Chain A
């Protein structure tokens, strides 16, 4: 079981959280021309690295805040978590 440190609530069991995928993906800017390639990158294409991965988690059974987690996809070690408006 993962033990995830919510930046707002502290250490909690994995069961309180929902996964939100790659935390580095950025939505194309609003009200600007967006090429098909940009949409493709945003919606479908993922690096899915082996090793360190920045990802989004949602403390859905807690404070309900989204935040970022730096986790190793092989060992599941969590190096760092950060609030959504902070750099990780």
Chain B
């Protein structure tokens, strides 16, 4: 704006009533305003403004998280077999994620220990063995002391022997259940859809292999704290289960191209580390079988997956 000389000097005495609270004279600090202008010209930011901006950013971030959470919830409401509260939980718990990076604490993840073995019960149909879960089970065994048991439900008359031994040999201490941190109970049962039950009182059964895989993977490593990265993992998991495992040849080829493209940019599908995206895609590729040889980047990635050593049980089952 153009400048105008002050009409009156700053030192005019005004008789103010005493019943009101006092304020400093806004016109009385010409020197101060001058430095302020000067500072702005130099591109420096007032610390109070910076604090305000930080606060706004924080609020915006929280809002985004909330938005993601609500969208996740909306997904479970509108599509019944979508991936449940796990993604929601992932984004909500992202604030505390730093606390359990490293050694994950089962108390925070699964609720307070009441003296009983925390037993994860998975009902799976022997016609469709859940390869991903077997791989995740192997990974869990490396992290925790897991009591693994396989049962056959009376709704199934017979189960091939390799399914009975799919969780590996019996643990020598399996007679004492209290020595274990986590129970992994696989029940071969005539169920239309894979099902996981954990706490009967506080949790409804989780359905679908992808959802259960997300639950189990969270016991191994926290989901990425930012919504975008978490969504990336989720979308790869969905791609794996819907397009790779169930899709037709065309869809599979499209996924293969996408995989190749992504793996050209980094060693793993999402982020700098191996994630659920890699596990799910690997298992679903294995299950789908490949008619043509995989592209170079996928080939390299498959090899690195195998080097991890977690995929043994899945491969054994497929033979």
State whether these chains interact. Answer: no
What residues of chain B have their CB less than 8 Å away from a CB belonging to chain A? none
